[in-house]
Structure 1
Amino acid sequence: MKVVALFSGGLDSILAVRLIQEQGIKVVGITFTTPFFGSKDAEVMAKKISLPLTVQDITDEHLKIVKNPKHGHGKNMNPCIDCHVLMAKKAGDFMRKKGASFIISGEVLGERPMSQNKAALRVVDKESGYDGYVLRPLSARLLSPTIPEEKGWVDREKLLSISGRSRKVQLELAKKYNLQNFPTPAGGCLLTDGSFSNRLRDLLELNLKPDVNDLELLKYGRHFPTKEALIIVSRNQDENNKLIELAKDDDLFFQVRDYPGPKTILRGKASEKAVEMAAHLTVKYGKAKNVARVEVWCWHPGKERKLMIVNIL
């Protein structure tokens, strides 16, 4: 028998795999990537525990639910319930493709009160299209029996009844299985970060139909949204390089002439007001901010540079 594990690389997902492997069942993993969360932790930990792992990019479908989640956002822009539905559906489709029998997840009842309560878990199971085939080994004995348990594919008595936010039981199990250097639970998804979420809202309000490049750009620099454009000012040389790497043909670059300082990128409608604002911000965060009259280069990537004058005092 073969099983598909929704695998994040965190301790809970590793333990879920171990519990099922102990019952003599072959486990293969699947993990997902978007500009908001990656697969690095999952790939590293999968290698450590010799778990075959497939990485699947779900950016397009995920962005649609970020914009308009059926079950709403969390504290920030994280559409957790809708995201879990999407992942369970993708895992179920992968299960069929691989000829596997059911899905396992490392979710723990009550660990995340809004998205891992009984009602939310039921929504995920039903709306994924794989109701009854999603087994959560760490909390299974607190939940209704799944098809794998009812049919005797797994021994329910060997599954666990963990609930709540305490990690005590999981850490004890980590010692038992000699698991080390696993990722911490926090920080996995940028959509839970308030600052990043605000940047994303500003981008969506521009109605630019953002692509992966736009979403990557949100990760860098200081952001100054206008009604028609985004202005991003780099904070260091690494971010200068990132802005150059991510620049589109229609973007406008700004850089102070003869003084060290940041690169600035203007994305969206380059109105006179937006251009003036971008130039002033470039001066403000550079070394020429106490000079009365500053020359600023302005150019489209690959095009001729033009000089504009910024009067500071």
Structure 2
Amino acid sequence: MTRALAMVSGGLDSILAAKVVKDQGIEVIGICFKSYFFNEENARRMVKQIDIPLEVVDFKEEHFKMVKNPKNGYGKNMNPCIDCHAMMMKYCGQLLEKFNADFIITGEVLNQRPMSQNRSALDKVKNESGIGSKILRPLCAKNLKPTEMEENGLVDRERLLNIQGRGRKIQMELADKWGIKEYPSPAGGCKLTEPNYSVRLKELLSHNQNPEERELELLRIGRHFRVTPKAKVISTRTQEEGEMIKSLLNEGDTILLVQDFNGSMIVIIGEATEEVISIAAKIAIRYSKGKDEPKVTVRYSEFGSKDHRTVEEICATDEEINSYLI
């Protein structure tokens, strides 16, 4: 029986591509990749809707190394889509033998994304993956040259599709036809496509080329302020963010809370010098109910310690906030 590996991102296009091929009587196994910037949660939900198994590949370290210096550069934000797709396909190529599979399916659509899915970009991914002859793009196949799988009769080209462009009408109609009810928005799963996250990541890498995994997780939470080259301040915006950030703190991190007024939890990541604590305290006051007071007491301590200290400060000005805000 013919068998294919479907690269399942967790979005709609990739699961539709897998469904198109599965409906030809071909066995399909989903392959999903896990990195510091995206995970398999959406993919697990999607494969259940078309009843195919899922294999998760964790390539965090190699992927992050590529993200720092992508051969083909970035998209609109810090998303190195061409290099990322080529890397995923290379991994899938190595899995063909493991699963005794014949070819690889992707959900790419010609010209859906102007930089990473134009004809030149699709050809570049195909060539740089090292397994170009084994790649099938079912959603836009009729807009591309026939693959060896079509020419050899493994796949019926007439039952493939000719979708192209940025519209989503056809995909949504197919989803409705096939009973695929729950799917995320396009590009909703990768943090590297998000402008705010990308700005923070770029700033972090300018100070530390080898951050810890938790530092990458922290980029998702709160407001971020660079106060010195060796210290960053994070201000939570909600109680939920406060709970999230606690799970990522280490001994040596410093927590600040305004003493007599409700407000944000402030965390110092890095060297908590007197200067840094003073700035962090001003920021804490700025995001508290005491911001209009002439002077406010702020408590601080190392994470996990019961030894609290206090400092009195005034509220940070708008100019100070803007000068530190990432």
- The question of whether the paired residues in 2 share the 8 Å contact of 1:206 and 1:229 is answered with no
Matched length:
313
2:231 maps to 1:229: yes
From the superposition, tell whether residues 206 and 69 of structure 1 become closer, same or farther in structure 2 (CA, over 3 Å).
same
Deviations 1:109-159 (A, max 9, x none): 001111011111122122112121110011112212222122221122221
Quote the residue 1:247 is aligned against.
249
> Separation in 2 of the partners of 1:298 and 1:47?
48
Quote the residue 2:312 is aligned against.
310
> Separation in 1 of the partners of 2:176 and 2:237?
42
> Separation in 1 of the partners of 2:295 and 2:12?
57
Deviations 1:35-59 (A, max 9, x none): 3222222111111211101122222
Quote the residue 1:267 is aligned against.
269
> Separation in 1 of the partners of 2:41 and 2:170?
25
2:38 maps to 1:37: yes
Quote the residue 2:282 is aligned against.
280
> Separation in 2 of the partners of 1:234 and 1:266?
12
Quote the residue 2:299 is aligned against.
297
Shift of 1:171: 2.6
Runs of 4+ aligned residues of structure 1 deviating over 4 Å after TM superposition are: none
1:18 aligned counterpart, secondary structure: helix
> Separation in 1 of the partners of 2:117 and 2:151?
23
> Separation in 1 of the partners of 2:313 and 2:16?
62
> Separation in 2 of the partners of 1:40 and 1:311?
44
From the superposition, tell whether residues 69 and 144 of structure 1 become closer, same or farther in structure 2 (CA, over 3 Å).
same
> Separation in 1 of the partners of 2:176 and 2:291?
56
From the superposition, tell whether residues 208 and 67 of structure 1 become closer, same or farther in structure 2 (CA, over 3 Å).
closer
2:68 maps to 1:71: no
> Separation in 1 of the partners of 2:11 and 2:123?
23
Quote the residue 2:23 is aligned against.
22
Quote the residue 2:211 is aligned against.
210
Contiguous gaps of at least 5 residues in structure 2: 316-326
The normalised TM-score by structure 1 is 0.94
C-alpha RMSD of matched pairs (Å)? 1.7
- The question of whether the paired residues in 2 share the 8 Å contact of 1:229 and 1:267 is answered with yes
> Separation in 1 of the partners of 2:301 and 2:283?
16
Aligned residue runs from structure 1 range 1-313, under 5 A: 1-207=2-208, 209-226=210-227, 227-312=229-314
Shift of 1:34: 2.4
Shift of 1:262: 1.8
Deviations 1:159-192 (A, max 9, x none): 1221111122223323332332333324222211
Contiguous gaps of at least 5 residues in structure 1: none
- The question of whether the paired residues in 2 share the 8 Å contact of 1:293 and 1:309 is answered with no
The normalised TM-score by structure 2 is 0.90
